[in-house]
């Protein structure tokens, strides 16, 4: 039997000679539990937003995207790309041509990005399911059609019922001394409006890849990027490595995270900053453990003398009170995790805390996603804080107490 742990357990739950020690011990557990619960809830909300954003971008981002490391375009008439297309894990391979453009519609202007895509683009993304007005139609017979983001449509004051074209302006490559010849201008009829994510919606107009090529004076084998959809359960990292080996080092291959790396990095930084702030609050709350242990050691001075008389070593006595502090931390962390999980379950089930401005957001309540890795990390951090908080008072106070008792016995 672990004697120090057994005695520490008895000390924690037994009635002390001074009620104030019981109260401080309870406050210590409550303080740790409150901080842990806040950590669980806040990190789970951040996880919820991460998953929400990832699900939104899954409608527009491919599993893999191939770009040229130098320049804005490249040709796909090499055997390497045919090999990529024939890979068994590749479900869809779409050609993409992108460029910054000026859009004009009935006197209104807006700067954004024209994105030309091949006919199989609907098989690659879920953009078709995000149409809020009109239809996802890239061709009307032989006539190219455009699908605008909701933000682009707002700035252009576009109305599909007017049957007016959108004029697309692209700077002409090379020098031009005539303002009229400085831009290539083409008209295209809008067929639909999509809404996915604000930043994407305010920038993109989707057109057939042939229309974008004609704007940029590209031939039929020139693209800005190749976007790839993989079969379900495919190993993205492994396939990415295989493709890199096939096509050489003159191309850049981006997975979904790398396509929006700055966004995900910002969200991770925010999550880390909030976690560090809450951990700091936990450290402050752990000072209650210092006070509780200090008073308990003084209260149990007679017990310490008895244990010393029975032959207990200094390290055994220190372990008793160290385990006492650890039990407070463990009790607070387990209680806090349970309360945090209950709070998350209530939010997921009943959507108790809603976002302000209902109807203006994709979700009407704060999204929550609990991850087991977060729970394990929180528990380990709290235990470490509890150990450090208990270590100092236990070593200092018990050592002084034992030395003073030894001096008294000497007299």
Q: What is the mean pLDDT of residues 390-405?
A: 76
**What is the rounded CA–CA span in Å between residue 309 and residue 301?**
13
- Residue whose structure tokens are 């104030």: 20
* Domain membership flag for residue 258: no
* Domain membership flag for residue 103: yes
Q: Are 64 and 243 in contact (CB under 8 A)?
A: yes
* Same domain for 195 and 125: yes
* Same domain for 77 and 143: yes
- Residue whose structure tokens are 């920038």: 203
Q: What is the mean pLDDT of residues 126-133?
A: 94
Lowest mean per-residue pLDDT among 9-18, 97-106, 146-155, 165-174: 9-18
Q: DSSP letters along 321-348, please?
A: HHHHHHHHHHHHHHHHHHHHHHHHHHHH
* Same domain for 207 and 74: yes
* Domain membership flag for residue 259: no
The predicted structure's pLDDT at residue 404: 63
Write down which residue in 253, 285, 303 finishes a domain: 253
Report CA-CA distances (Å) from 142 to 34, 52, 138, 276, 288. Answer: 65, 38, 10, 58, 76
pLDDT, tens only, 52-86? 988 888 888 999 999 999 999 999 987 688 899 99
Q: What is the mean pLDDT of residues 118-129?
A: 94
**What is the rounded CA–CA span in Å between residue 383 and residue 331?**
10
Query: Which contacts (CB < 8 Å, 24+ apart) does range 2-8 have?
Result: 3/316, 4/316, 4/319, 4/320, 4/322, 4/323, 5/323, 7/320, 8/319, 8/320, 8/321, 8/322, 8/323, 8/324, 8/326, 8/327
* Same domain for 292 and 157: no
**What is the rounded CA–CA span in Å between residue 292 and residue 283?**
15
Torsion (CA) 82, 86, 89, 91 in degrees, nearest 10: 80
* Domain membership flag for residue 207: yes
Would you state the structure tokens that stand for residue 16, as one six-digit string?
């002390």
* Domain membership flag for residue 157: yes
* Same domain for 373 and 228: no
Neighbour tally for 129: CB within 10 Å? 11
pLDDT, tens only, 354-365? 987 655 567 889
Work out how many domains the chain is built from and give that number: 2
**Residues with Cβ within 8 Å of residue 207, at least 6 apart in sequence:** 114, 115, 116, 117, 138, 144, 145, 146, 147, 168, 188
* Same domain for 336 and 219: no
The predicted structure's pLDDT at residue 285: 87
pLDDT, tens only, 41-56? 999 999 999 999 888 8
Judged against a pLDDT cut of 70, whether residue 259 lies above it is answered with yes
Write down which residue in 223, 253, 283 finishes a domain: 253
* Domain membership flag for residue 31: yes
Write down which residue in 219, 253, 287 finishes a domain: 253
Q: Are 115 and 204 in contact (CB under 8 A)?
A: yes
pLDDT, tens only, 169-228? 999 877 666 666 789 999 999 999 999 989 999 999 999 999 999 999 999 999 999 999
The predicted structure's pLDDT at residue 410: 46
* Same domain for 231 and 119: yes
Give helix then strand counts, H and E, for the chain.
14, 13
pLDDT, tens only, 307-332? 888 888 888 989 999 999 999 999 99
* Same domain for 191 and 158: yes
**What is the rounded CA–CA span in Å between residue 333 and residue 385?**
11
**What is the rounded CA–CA span in Å between residue 87 and residue 238?**
12
The predicted structure's pLDDT at residue 405: 57
The predicted structure's pLDDT at residue 8: 87
Confidence tier at 142 by pLDDT (50, 70, 90): very high
Range of the domain at 282: 3-57+264-410
* Same domain for 52 and 69: no
* Same domain for 219 and 107: yes
Q: What is the mean pLDDT of the chain?
A: 90
Q: Are 4 and 320 in contact (CB under 8 A)?
A: yes
Q: Are 336 and 34 in contact (CB under 8 A)?
A: yes
Confidence tier at 287 by pLDDT (50, 70, 90): confident
* Same domain for 334 and 226: no
Q: What is the mean pLDDT of residues 329-340?
A: 96
Helix (H, G, I), strand (E, B) or coil at 141: coil
Neighbour tally for 104: CB within 10 Å? 16
The predicted structure's pLDDT at residue 411: 42
* Same domain for 309 and 195: no
Judged against a pLDDT cut of 80, whether residue 89 lies above it is answered with yes
Would you state the structure tokens that stand for residue 347, as one six-digit string?
């939010």
Q: What is the mean pLDDT of residues 11-40?
A: 83
The predicted structure's pLDDT at residue 409: 45
Smallest CA-to-CA distance from 193 within 108, 132, 269, 254 is with: 132
The predicted structure's pLDDT at residue 18: 58
The predicted structure's pLDDT at residue 326: 93
Q: Are 71 and 135 in contact (CB under 8 A)?
A: no
**Residues with Cβ within 8 Å of residue 239, at least 6 apart in sequence:** 64, 87, 89, 90, 230
């Amino acid at each position: 039997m672990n004697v120090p742990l057994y005695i520490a357990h008895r000390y924690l739950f037994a009635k002390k000679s001074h009620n104030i020690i019981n109260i401080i011990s309870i406050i210590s557990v409550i303080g740790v539990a409150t901080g842990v619960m806040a950590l669980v809830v806040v990190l789970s909300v951040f996880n919820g937003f991460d998953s929400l954003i990832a699900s939104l971008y899954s409608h527009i981002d491919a599993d893999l995207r191939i770009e040229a490391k130098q320049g804005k375009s490249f040709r796909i008439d090499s055997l390497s790309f045919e090999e990529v297309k024939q890979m068994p894990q590749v479900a869809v391979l779409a050609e993409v041509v992108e460029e910054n453009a000026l859009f004009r519609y009935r006197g209104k202007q807006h700067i954004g990005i024209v994105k030309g895509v091949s006919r199989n683009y609907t098989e690659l993304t879920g953009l078709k399911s995000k149409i809020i007005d009109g239809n996802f139609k890239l061709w009307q017979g032989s006539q190219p059609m455009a699908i605008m983001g909701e933000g682009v449509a707002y700035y252009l004051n576009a109305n599909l019922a007017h049957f007016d074209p959108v004029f697309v302006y692209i700077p002409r490559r090379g020098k031009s001394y005539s303002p009229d010849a400085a831009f290539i201008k083409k008209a295209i009829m809008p067929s639909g409006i999509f809404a996915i994510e604000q930043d994407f919606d305010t920038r993109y107009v989707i057109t057939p890849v042939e229309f974008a090529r004609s704007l940029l004076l590209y031939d039929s084998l020139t693209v800005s990027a190749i976007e790839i959809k993989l079969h379900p359960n495919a190993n993205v990292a492994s396939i990415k490595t295989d493709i890199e080996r096939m096509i050489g080092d003159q191309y850049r291959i981006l997975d979904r995270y790398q396509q929006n790396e700055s966004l995900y990095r910002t969200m991770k930084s925010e999550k880390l900053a909030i976690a560090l702030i809450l951990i700091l609050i936990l450290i402050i709350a752990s000072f209650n453990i210092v006070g509780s242990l200090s008073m308990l050691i003084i209260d149990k001075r007679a017990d310490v003398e008895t244990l010393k008389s029975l032959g207990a070593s200094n390290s055994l006595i220190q372990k008793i009170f160290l385990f006492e502090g650890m039990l407070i931390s463990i009790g607070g962390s387990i209680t806090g995790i349970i309360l945090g999980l209950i709070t998350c379950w209530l939010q997921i089930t009943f959507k108790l805390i809603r976002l302000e401005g209902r109807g203006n957001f994709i979700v009407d309540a704060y999204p929550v996603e609990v991850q087991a890795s977060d729970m394990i990390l929180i528990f380990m951090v709290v235990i470490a804080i509890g150990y450090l908080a208990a270590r100092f008072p236990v070593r200092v106070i018990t050592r002084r107490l034992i030395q003073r008792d030894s001096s008294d016995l000497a007299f």
